[in-house]
Amino acid sequence: MNELVLDASVVLKWFADEGEEGFPQARAVREQYEAGGLLVVVPSLMLLEVLNIAGRRWSWGEPQLLELAGALDDLGFDVAEPELRSVAAWTARGLTAYDSAYVALAEERGVQLLTDDQQVLRLAAALALPLVGQ
C-alpha cells in the first residue's frame, strides 16, 4: 500500500466544485484512498485549514461546516505531528510554519507530500509531488 502526506490544497478539492483546477486529480486520489490503496497521513493542522477555508473563503455556514467536520472525521486519516525542530528547519528555508509541518511530516515518514502549492513544490522538490501534472 502506498503512503502519502496530503496537504490542505489537495484535500480541499475533495469538497470543492467540479470546476476547480485539479479537481479530477484530487478525486482520483480520494478514490484510491477510499478503495484501500493509499494510506494518508496528515498533521492535525490540515483539518483546521480545510475548515478555515470552507468557512472563510467559501462562506459556508454552520450546518455545512458541521457536516464537513464530520466528513473529515469519517475519512479516518492517520493524524501525526512532525517534530517541531523539523518544522523550524523547513521554515528557515522559506516555507511558512504551516507548510513546513506537511513537508517535515513527509520527510520524517520517508514518504512524499502531494500538494498543489507551488512554493512547497519549489522549496521541497525532493519530497513534494504536484497534484496536477503527475
Q: Which fold has domain 2-130?
A: Rossmann fold (3.40.50)
Q: What is the pLDDT of residues 59-108, one digit of tens each?
A: 999 999 999 999 999 999 999 999 999 999 999 999 999 999 999 999 99
Residue ranges of domains in the chain:
2-130
pLDDT of the residue at 133: 77
Local confidence band at 116 (pLDDT 50, 70, 90 cut-offs): very high
Local confidence band at 1 (pLDDT 50, 70, 90 cut-offs): low
Confidence (pTM): 0.94
How many whole angstroms separate alpha carbon 23 and alpha carbon 12? 9
pLDDT of the residue at 107: 98
Looking up cell 517541531 gives 84
- What lies within 8 Å, CB to CB, of 75 at 6+ separation is 33, 40
